[in-house]
Amino acid sequence: MKSSAMRDLMALTERDDVISLAGGLPDTSTFPADSYASLMSTVAAGSCARALQYGPTEGLTLVKRCIAEVMAAESMEVDEDELLVTTGGQQVIDLVCKTLLDPGDVVVCEAPTYPGAVPTFSSYQANVVQITMDRDGMRTDELQSTLDELERAGHRPKFIYTVPNFHNPAGVTLSLERRHELVRIASERELLVLEDNPYGLLRYEGTPLPTLRSLDEEFIIYASTFSKILSPGVRLGWTAAPAPVLAKMNLGKQASDLCSSSISQYFVSAYFDSGPWEDYVRSLIDIYRRRRDVLLDALAEHFPREAEWTHPEGGLFIWATLPDYIDTTDLLARALQEHVAFVPGRAAYVDGRGGSSMRLNFSGVDVDDIREGMRRLGEVVREQVELYGTLTGAASKSGVRRDPIAPSPTPPATPSGASPGAADEPANVLQLRRKRA
Protein backbone atom coordinates (compact mmCIF):
# COMPACT_ATOMS: atom_id res chain seq x y z
CA MET A 1 0.00 0.00 0.00
CA LYS A 2 1.25 3.48 -0.84
CA SER A 3 1.84 5.67 2.20
CA SER A 4 -0.60 8.54 2.54
CA ALA A 5 1.29 11.80 2.27
CA MET A 6 -1.39 13.40 4.41
CA ARG A 7 -0.95 10.83 7.17
CA ASP A 8 2.83 11.23 7.11
CA LEU A 9 2.56 15.00 7.27
CA MET A 10 0.15 15.02 10.20
CA ALA A 11 3.07 14.32 12.52
CA LEU A 12 4.68 17.55 11.35
CA THR A 13 1.68 19.61 12.43
CA GLU A 14 2.58 18.80 16.04
CA ARG A 15 5.97 20.45 15.74
CA ASP A 16 5.97 23.99 17.07
CA ASP A 17 8.62 25.12 14.59
CA VAL A 18 6.63 24.15 11.47
CA ILE A 19 3.89 26.28 9.95
CA SER A 20 1.69 23.57 8.48
CA LEU A 21 -0.48 24.39 5.49
CA ALA A 22 -0.75 20.64 4.99
CA GLY A 23 -3.48 19.24 7.22
CA GLY A 24 -7.19 19.56 6.59
CA LEU A 25 -7.61 20.81 10.13
CA PRO A 26 -10.58 22.84 11.32
CA ASP A 27 -9.69 25.43 13.95
CA THR A 28 -10.93 23.80 17.14
CA SER A 29 -9.63 26.73 19.20
CA THR A 30 -12.75 28.58 18.04
CA PHE A 31 -14.95 26.34 20.20
CA PRO A 32 -15.29 27.92 23.68
CA ALA A 33 -13.66 25.85 26.41
CA ASP A 34 -16.38 26.74 28.90
CA SER A 35 -19.04 25.47 26.49
CA TYR A 36 -17.18 22.20 26.11
CA ALA A 37 -16.93 21.81 29.88
CA SER A 38 -20.60 22.62 30.33
CA LEU A 39 -21.70 20.14 27.67
CA MET A 40 -19.60 17.34 29.13
CA SER A 41 -21.04 18.12 32.57
CA THR A 42 -24.52 17.88 31.08
CA VAL A 43 -23.72 14.46 29.62
CA ALA A 44 -22.20 13.27 32.90
CA ALA A 45 -25.12 14.50 34.98
CA GLY A 46 -27.91 13.13 32.82
CA SER A 47 -26.55 10.21 30.83
CA CYS A 48 -23.26 9.08 32.37
CA ALA A 49 -23.89 5.33 32.47
CA ARG A 50 -25.39 5.22 28.98
CA ALA A 51 -22.65 7.43 27.53
CA LEU A 52 -20.01 5.06 28.91
CA GLN A 53 -21.75 1.99 27.46
CA TYR A 54 -21.71 0.30 24.05
CA GLY A 55 -24.40 1.53 21.68
CA PRO A 56 -26.21 0.12 18.65
CA THR A 57 -24.06 -0.32 15.55
CA GLU A 58 -26.31 1.93 13.48
CA GLY A 59 -26.01 4.77 15.99
CA LEU A 60 -28.16 6.33 18.69
CA THR A 61 -31.52 7.84 17.78
CA LEU A 62 -30.65 11.06 19.61
CA VAL A 63 -27.69 11.76 17.30
CA LYS A 64 -29.59 10.67 14.19
CA ARG A 65 -32.03 13.50 14.94
CA CYS A 66 -29.09 15.91 14.89
CA ILE A 67 -27.92 14.47 11.58
CA ALA A 68 -31.38 14.92 10.08
CA GLU A 69 -31.27 18.56 11.19
CA VAL A 70 -27.90 19.10 9.50
CA MET A 71 -29.08 17.46 6.30
CA ALA A 72 -32.23 19.60 6.35
CA ALA A 73 -29.96 22.67 6.31
CA GLU A 74 -28.89 21.49 2.85
CA SER A 75 -32.48 20.79 1.76
CA MET A 76 -32.44 17.04 2.31
CA GLU A 77 -35.03 14.94 4.09
CA VAL A 78 -33.97 11.68 5.68
CA ASP A 79 -35.58 9.06 7.91
CA GLU A 80 -33.66 7.70 10.88
CA ASP A 81 -33.67 4.18 9.46
CA GLU A 82 -31.86 5.49 6.36
CA LEU A 83 -28.85 6.56 8.44
CA LEU A 84 -25.74 4.82 9.71
CA VAL A 85 -23.59 6.68 12.25
CA THR A 86 -19.89 6.12 11.57
CA THR A 87 -16.56 6.82 13.20
CA GLY A 88 -15.83 9.90 11.10
CA GLY A 89 -16.53 10.41 7.43
CA GLN A 90 -13.43 8.40 6.55
CA GLN A 91 -15.11 5.24 7.80
CA VAL A 92 -17.88 5.70 5.25
CA ILE A 93 -15.33 5.44 2.43
CA ASP A 94 -13.81 2.37 4.05
CA LEU A 95 -17.18 0.68 4.57
CA VAL A 96 -18.27 1.34 0.99
CA CYS A 97 -15.05 -0.27 -0.22
CA LYS A 98 -15.40 -3.16 2.22
CA THR A 99 -19.02 -3.72 1.17
CA LEU A 100 -18.73 -3.35 -2.59
CA LEU A 101 -15.19 -4.15 -3.72
CA ASP A 102 -13.38 -7.33 -4.62
CA PRO A 103 -9.70 -7.14 -5.60
CA GLY A 104 -9.38 -5.78 -9.13
CA ASP A 105 -12.76 -4.02 -9.18
CA VAL A 106 -12.90 -0.59 -10.79
CA VAL A 107 -13.59 2.64 -8.91
CA VAL A 108 -14.02 5.94 -10.75
CA CYS A 109 -13.11 9.22 -9.07
CA GLU A 110 -11.89 12.72 -9.87
CA ALA A 111 -8.36 13.74 -10.82
CA PRO A 112 -7.19 14.91 -8.34
CA THR A 113 -9.11 13.13 -5.60
CA TYR A 114 -9.27 13.32 -1.81
CA PRO A 115 -5.81 12.17 -0.62
CA GLY A 116 -7.35 10.12 2.20
CA ALA A 117 -9.32 8.05 -0.31
CA VAL A 118 -6.23 6.95 -2.26
CA PRO A 119 -4.79 4.57 0.39
CA THR A 120 -8.29 3.27 1.13
CA PHE A 121 -8.87 2.33 -2.49
CA SER A 122 -5.39 0.83 -2.64
CA SER A 123 -5.90 -1.24 0.51
CA TYR A 124 -8.87 -2.97 -1.13
CA GLN A 125 -6.82 -3.53 -4.31
CA ALA A 126 -9.15 -1.45 -6.44
CA ASN A 127 -8.27 -0.38 -9.96
CA VAL A 128 -8.88 3.36 -9.92
CA VAL A 129 -9.74 5.43 -13.00
CA GLN A 130 -9.55 9.20 -12.49
CA ILE A 131 -11.60 11.73 -14.45
CA THR A 132 -10.32 15.17 -15.39
CA MET A 133 -11.63 18.19 -13.50
CA ASP A 134 -11.96 21.82 -14.52
CA ARG A 135 -13.41 24.87 -12.78
CA ASP A 136 -16.88 23.28 -12.91
CA GLY A 137 -15.76 20.06 -11.23
CA MET A 138 -15.65 16.57 -12.72
CA ARG A 139 -16.01 16.60 -16.50
CA THR A 140 -19.13 14.54 -17.06
CA ASP A 141 -18.48 14.32 -20.80
CA GLU A 142 -15.19 12.57 -20.06
CA LEU A 143 -16.92 10.44 -17.44
CA GLN A 144 -19.42 9.28 -20.05
CA SER A 145 -16.77 8.43 -22.63
CA THR A 146 -14.62 6.72 -19.99
CA LEU A 147 -17.51 4.54 -18.86
CA ASP A 148 -18.13 3.60 -22.49
CA GLU A 149 -14.47 2.69 -22.90
CA LEU A 150 -14.47 0.64 -19.72
CA GLU A 151 -17.62 -1.17 -20.82
CA ARG A 152 -16.01 -2.09 -24.14
CA ALA A 153 -13.07 -3.49 -22.18
CA GLY A 154 -15.41 -5.56 -20.01
CA HIS A 155 -15.12 -3.41 -16.87
CA ARG A 156 -18.08 -2.09 -14.88
CA PRO A 157 -17.20 0.28 -12.01
CA LYS A 158 -18.53 -0.62 -8.60
CA PHE A 159 -19.04 3.05 -7.75
CA ILE A 160 -18.12 6.63 -8.61
CA TYR A 161 -16.53 8.67 -5.82
CA THR A 162 -16.92 12.45 -5.85
CA VAL A 163 -16.51 15.48 -3.57
CA PRO A 164 -18.90 17.89 -5.32
CA ASN A 165 -18.71 20.84 -2.90
CA PHE A 166 -15.44 22.77 -2.41
CA HIS A 167 -13.42 19.79 -3.51
CA ASN A 168 -10.58 18.38 -1.45
CA PRO A 169 -7.93 19.08 -2.71
CA ALA A 170 -8.94 21.12 -5.76
CA GLY A 171 -11.27 23.63 -4.12
CA VAL A 172 -13.68 23.68 -7.09
CA THR A 173 -17.42 22.95 -7.00
CA LEU A 174 -19.41 20.72 -9.34
CA SER A 175 -21.74 22.92 -11.40
CA LEU A 176 -25.52 22.51 -11.29
CA GLU A 177 -25.62 21.30 -14.89
CA ARG A 178 -23.02 18.65 -14.19
CA ARG A 179 -24.80 17.55 -11.01
CA HIS A 180 -27.88 16.80 -13.05
CA GLU A 181 -25.74 15.09 -15.68
CA LEU A 182 -23.92 12.94 -13.12
CA VAL A 183 -27.19 11.84 -11.53
CA ARG A 184 -28.58 11.05 -14.99
CA ILE A 185 -25.52 8.96 -15.90
CA ALA A 186 -25.76 7.07 -12.62
CA SER A 187 -29.46 6.38 -13.11
CA GLU A 188 -29.18 5.28 -16.74
CA ARG A 189 -26.23 2.99 -16.03
CA GLU A 190 -27.47 1.93 -12.58
CA LEU A 191 -24.16 2.95 -11.01
CA LEU A 192 -23.74 3.88 -7.37
CA VAL A 193 -22.25 7.29 -6.57
CA LEU A 194 -20.50 7.96 -3.26
CA GLU A 195 -21.16 11.65 -2.59
CA ASP A 196 -18.66 12.89 0.02
CA ASN A 197 -19.91 16.21 1.38
CA PRO A 198 -17.99 17.30 4.50
CA TYR A 199 -17.69 20.96 3.45
CA GLY A 200 -21.12 21.79 2.03
CA LEU A 201 -22.15 24.18 4.83
CA LEU A 202 -18.84 26.09 4.71
CA ARG A 203 -19.74 28.40 1.82
CA TYR A 204 -18.10 31.85 1.71
CA GLU A 205 -19.61 33.21 -1.49
CA GLY A 206 -22.00 32.21 -4.26
CA THR A 207 -25.32 30.39 -4.27
CA PRO A 208 -25.76 26.98 -2.59
CA LEU A 209 -26.30 24.10 -5.00
CA PRO A 210 -28.43 21.00 -4.39
CA THR A 211 -26.65 17.87 -3.23
CA LEU A 212 -26.67 14.87 -5.53
CA ARG A 213 -28.82 13.05 -3.00
CA SER A 214 -31.45 15.78 -3.10
CA LEU A 215 -31.63 15.37 -6.89
CA ASP A 216 -32.02 11.58 -6.87
CA GLU A 217 -31.66 9.25 -3.89
CA GLU A 218 -31.83 5.92 -5.75
CA PHE A 219 -28.15 5.50 -6.58
CA ILE A 220 -26.52 7.96 -4.16
CA ILE A 221 -24.55 6.94 -1.08
CA TYR A 222 -24.33 10.19 0.87
CA ALA A 223 -21.50 10.79 3.34
CA SER A 224 -20.83 13.66 5.73
CA THR A 225 -19.33 14.40 9.12
CA PHE A 226 -19.42 16.57 12.24
CA SER A 227 -15.67 17.12 11.88
CA LYS A 228 -15.93 20.36 9.90
CA ILE A 229 -18.98 21.92 11.57
CA LEU A 230 -18.24 20.94 15.17
CA SER A 231 -15.07 18.97 15.92
CA PRO A 232 -12.99 16.24 14.28
CA GLY A 233 -12.19 14.98 17.77
CA VAL A 234 -15.70 13.61 18.27
CA ARG A 235 -14.99 11.23 15.35
CA LEU A 236 -18.57 11.06 14.16
CA GLY A 237 -19.75 10.91 10.58
CA TRP A 238 -22.70 9.34 8.84
CA THR A 239 -24.05 7.90 5.65
CA ALA A 240 -27.50 7.81 4.08
CA ALA A 241 -27.67 5.07 1.48
CA PRO A 242 -30.05 2.81 -0.43
CA ALA A 243 -31.42 0.19 1.97
CA PRO A 244 -29.59 -2.87 0.57
CA VAL A 245 -26.26 -1.05 0.65
CA LEU A 246 -26.89 0.39 4.11
CA ALA A 247 -27.67 -3.04 5.53
CA LYS A 248 -24.35 -4.42 4.26
CA MET A 249 -22.45 -1.39 5.53
CA ASN A 250 -24.04 -1.89 8.94
CA LEU A 251 -22.72 -5.46 9.02
CA GLY A 252 -19.31 -4.24 7.92
CA LYS A 253 -19.22 -1.64 10.66
CA GLN A 254 -20.25 -4.17 13.27
CA ALA A 255 -17.25 -6.27 12.27
CA SER A 256 -14.94 -3.24 12.30
CA ASP A 257 -15.67 -1.47 15.58
CA LEU A 258 -19.07 -2.62 16.91
CA CYS A 259 -20.29 0.97 17.29
CA SER A 260 -19.14 4.56 17.26
CA SER A 261 -18.39 6.34 20.53
CA SER A 262 -21.45 6.67 22.75
CA ILE A 263 -19.79 9.53 24.65
CA SER A 264 -19.35 11.45 21.40
CA GLN A 265 -22.94 10.84 20.37
CA TYR A 266 -24.28 12.10 23.68
CA PHE A 267 -21.96 15.10 23.47
CA VAL A 268 -23.21 16.00 19.98
CA SER A 269 -26.81 15.64 21.13
CA ALA A 270 -26.18 17.91 24.13
CA TYR A 271 -24.52 20.43 21.83
CA PHE A 272 -27.51 20.55 19.50
CA ASP A 273 -29.87 20.87 22.48
CA SER A 274 -27.85 23.78 23.91
CA GLY A 275 -28.71 26.31 21.22
CA PRO A 276 -28.58 27.10 17.50
CA TRP A 277 -25.69 25.06 16.10
CA GLU A 278 -25.86 27.16 12.93
CA ASP A 279 -24.48 30.16 14.85
CA TYR A 280 -21.18 28.37 15.39
CA VAL A 281 -21.01 27.39 11.71
CA ARG A 282 -21.58 31.02 10.73
CA SER A 283 -18.71 32.07 13.00
CA LEU A 284 -16.47 29.50 11.31
CA ILE A 285 -17.48 30.81 7.89
CA ASP A 286 -16.43 34.34 8.86
CA ILE A 287 -13.07 33.12 10.19
CA TYR A 288 -12.29 30.81 7.29
CA ARG A 289 -13.37 33.33 4.64
CA ARG A 290 -10.83 35.82 5.95
CA ARG A 291 -8.10 33.19 6.08
CA ARG A 292 -8.89 32.11 2.52
CA ASP A 293 -8.60 35.71 1.37
CA VAL A 294 -5.29 36.14 3.20
CA LEU A 295 -3.91 33.01 1.55
CA LEU A 296 -5.07 34.14 -1.90
CA ASP A 297 -3.40 37.51 -1.35
CA ALA A 298 -0.22 35.79 -0.16
CA LEU A 299 -0.15 33.57 -3.24
CA ALA A 300 -0.40 36.63 -5.47
CA GLU A 301 2.35 38.36 -3.51
CA HIS A 302 4.87 35.56 -3.02
CA PHE A 303 4.44 32.97 -5.79
CA PRO A 304 6.08 33.51 -9.20
CA ARG A 305 3.98 34.44 -12.18
CA GLU A 306 4.36 30.92 -13.57
CA ALA A 307 2.19 29.62 -10.72
CA GLU A 308 -1.59 29.30 -10.82
CA TRP A 309 -4.23 28.34 -8.28
CA THR A 310 -7.93 27.83 -7.71
CA HIS A 311 -10.29 30.27 -5.99
CA PRO A 312 -12.59 28.20 -3.76
CA GLU A 313 -16.04 29.52 -2.88
CA GLY A 314 -15.92 27.52 0.35
CA GLY A 315 -14.25 24.60 2.07
CA LEU A 316 -10.71 24.45 3.42
CA PHE A 317 -8.30 24.14 0.48
CA ILE A 318 -6.57 25.87 -2.40
CA TRP A 319 -4.86 23.87 -5.17
CA ALA A 320 -1.76 25.53 -6.59
CA THR A 321 0.18 24.41 -9.64
CA LEU A 322 3.76 25.26 -10.59
CA PRO A 323 5.58 24.75 -13.90
CA ASP A 324 5.88 21.13 -15.02
CA TYR A 325 9.61 21.01 -14.27
CA ILE A 326 8.99 21.48 -10.53
CA ASP A 327 8.28 18.35 -8.47
CA THR A 328 6.44 19.34 -5.31
CA THR A 329 7.39 16.13 -3.51
CA ASP A 330 11.03 17.20 -3.79
CA LEU A 331 9.99 20.78 -3.07
CA LEU A 332 8.46 19.70 0.25
CA ALA A 333 11.83 18.52 1.54
CA ARG A 334 13.27 21.94 0.77
CA ALA A 335 10.24 23.71 2.29
CA LEU A 336 10.60 21.77 5.53
CA GLN A 337 14.08 23.19 5.88
CA GLU A 338 12.30 26.56 6.09
CA HIS A 339 9.78 25.09 8.56
CA VAL A 340 6.70 25.20 6.34
CA ALA A 341 4.65 22.24 5.05
CA PHE A 342 2.04 21.47 2.38
CA VAL A 343 0.60 18.35 0.72
CA PRO A 344 2.32 17.41 -2.57
CA GLY A 345 -0.04 16.90 -5.49
CA ARG A 346 0.93 13.29 -6.12
CA ALA A 347 -0.95 12.33 -2.94
CA ALA A 348 -4.20 13.02 -4.80
CA TYR A 349 -3.51 10.69 -7.73
CA VAL A 350 -3.02 6.95 -8.13
CA ASP A 351 -0.94 7.04 -11.31
CA GLY A 352 1.91 9.46 -10.59
CA ARG A 353 0.28 12.63 -11.87
CA GLY A 354 0.06 15.88 -9.91
CA GLY A 355 3.81 16.23 -9.52
CA SER A 356 3.82 19.98 -10.04
CA SER A 357 0.82 20.74 -7.82
CA MET A 358 0.25 21.21 -4.09
CA ARG A 359 -2.66 21.43 -1.67
CA LEU A 360 -2.69 24.39 0.72
CA ASN A 361 -4.97 24.53 3.78
CA PHE A 362 -6.05 27.81 5.34
CA SER A 363 -8.58 26.78 8.02
CA GLY A 364 -6.20 25.51 10.68
CA VAL A 365 -3.67 28.36 10.54
CA ASP A 366 -4.13 31.91 11.83
CA VAL A 367 -3.62 34.84 9.46
CA ASP A 368 -0.17 35.76 10.76
CA ASP A 369 1.08 32.22 10.24
CA ILE A 370 -0.51 32.09 6.79
CA ARG A 371 1.38 35.22 5.78
CA GLU A 372 4.68 34.03 7.25
CA GLY A 373 4.27 30.48 5.96
CA MET A 374 3.54 31.71 2.46
CA ARG A 375 6.49 34.10 2.59
CA ARG A 376 8.76 31.16 3.41
CA LEU A 377 7.16 28.89 0.86
CA GLY A 378 7.21 31.60 -1.79
CA GLU A 379 10.96 32.02 -1.37
CA VAL A 380 11.49 28.29 -1.82
CA VAL A 381 9.22 28.15 -4.86
CA ARG A 382 10.86 31.13 -6.57
CA GLU A 383 14.30 29.68 -5.84
CA GLN A 384 13.38 26.33 -7.39
CA VAL A 385 11.58 27.86 -10.38
CA GLU A 386 14.59 30.04 -11.14
CA LEU A 387 17.06 27.17 -10.68
CA TYR A 388 15.25 24.46 -12.63
CA GLY A 389 13.79 26.88 -15.15
CA THR A 390 17.33 27.88 -16.06
CA LEU A 391 18.54 24.26 -16.22
CA THR A 392 15.64 23.18 -18.45
CA GLY A 393 15.61 26.29 -20.58
CA ALA A 394 12.10 27.10 -19.46
CA ALA A 395 13.18 30.36 -17.86
CA SER A 396 13.73 31.89 -21.29
CA LYS A 397 10.08 31.16 -22.06
CA SER A 398 8.74 32.78 -18.91
CA GLY A 399 6.92 35.40 -20.94
CA VAL A 400 4.78 32.71 -22.58
CA ARG A 401 2.52 31.13 -19.99
CA ARG A 402 0.35 28.10 -20.66
CA ASP A 403 -3.37 28.68 -20.92
CA PRO A 404 -4.96 27.51 -17.66
CA ILE A 405 -8.36 27.21 -19.34
CA ALA A 406 -7.23 24.60 -21.87
CA PRO A 407 -6.78 21.25 -20.14
CA SER A 408 -3.90 19.08 -21.27
CA PRO A 409 -4.45 15.61 -22.72
CA THR A 410 -5.32 13.02 -20.10
CA PRO A 411 -4.34 9.36 -19.96
CA PRO A 412 -6.65 6.73 -21.44
CA ALA A 413 -9.18 5.04 -19.20
CA THR A 414 -6.75 2.42 -17.98
CA PRO A 415 -7.39 1.01 -14.50
CA SER A 416 -4.71 2.11 -12.08
CA GLY A 417 -3.18 -1.33 -11.87
CA ALA A 418 -2.06 -0.95 -15.49
CA SER A 419 -1.62 2.81 -15.68
CA PRO A 420 1.10 4.35 -17.84
CA GLY A 421 2.85 5.84 -14.81
CA ALA A 422 4.55 9.06 -13.86
CA ALA A 423 6.58 9.31 -17.04
CA ASP A 424 3.40 10.06 -18.99
CA GLU A 425 2.24 12.75 -16.60
CA PRO A 426 0.20 15.45 -18.36
CA ALA A 427 0.30 19.10 -17.43
CA ASN A 428 -2.21 20.48 -14.99
CA VAL A 429 -5.81 19.81 -15.98
CA LEU A 430 -7.62 22.15 -13.61
CA GLN A 431 -8.74 25.54 -14.78
CA LEU A 432 -6.90 27.89 -12.47
CA ARG A 433 -6.67 31.60 -11.93
CA ARG A 434 -3.54 33.61 -11.34
CA LYS A 435 -4.95 36.39 -9.19
CA ARG A 436 -7.72 37.07 -6.72
CA ALA A 437 -11.19 37.50 -8.20
Instruction: Please return the burial class of 426, using the count of CB atoms within 10 Å of its CB with bins 0-12, 13-18 and 19+.
Output: middle
Which pLDDT score, from 0 to 100, does residue 110 have? 98
Dihedral sign for Cα atoms in the order 237, 133, 384, 3: positive
What's the predicted TM-score (pTM) here?
0.90
8 pLDDT band (50/70/90 cuts)? low
Q: 15 or 129: whose pLDDT is higher?
A: 129
pLDDT at 392 over 80: no
| 296-300: average pLDDT | 98
Segment 84-94, tens digit of pLDDT: 999 999 999 99
Q: Contact at 8 Å (CB) between 279 and 323? A: no
Which pLDDT score, from 0 to 100, does residue 388 have? 79
Of 319, 119, 127, 292, which Cα lies nearest the Cα of 203? 292
Which pLDDT score, from 0 to 100, does residue 401 have? 40
DSSP-derived pairing of the beta strands 237-240 and 220-225: antiparallel
Q: Which residues of 260-274 are buried (b: 16+ CB within 10 A; e: fewer)?
A: bbbbbbbbbbbbbee
Which pLDDT score, from 0 to 100, does residue 435 have? 45
Segment 171-214, tens digit of pLDDT: 999 999 999 999 999 999 999 999 999 999 999 999 999 999 99
15 pLDDT band (50/70/90 cuts)? confident
Q: Contact at 8 Å (CB) between 26 and 228? A: yes
Instruction: Report d(CA 66, CA 211) in Å as an integer.
Output: 18
Q: Contact at 8 Å (CB) between 127 and 105? A: yes
| 56-80: average pLDDT | 98
Sorted by where each starts, the structural domains of the chain and their CATH numbers stand as 5-30+279-395+406-424 (3.90.1150.10), 50-273 (3.40.640.10)
| 352-371: average pLDDT | 96
How many angstroms separate the Cα of 150 from the Cα of each of 128, 144, 349, 406?
A: 12, 10, 19, 25
| 119-148: average pLDDT | 97
Which pLDDT score, from 0 to 100, does residue 1 have? 39
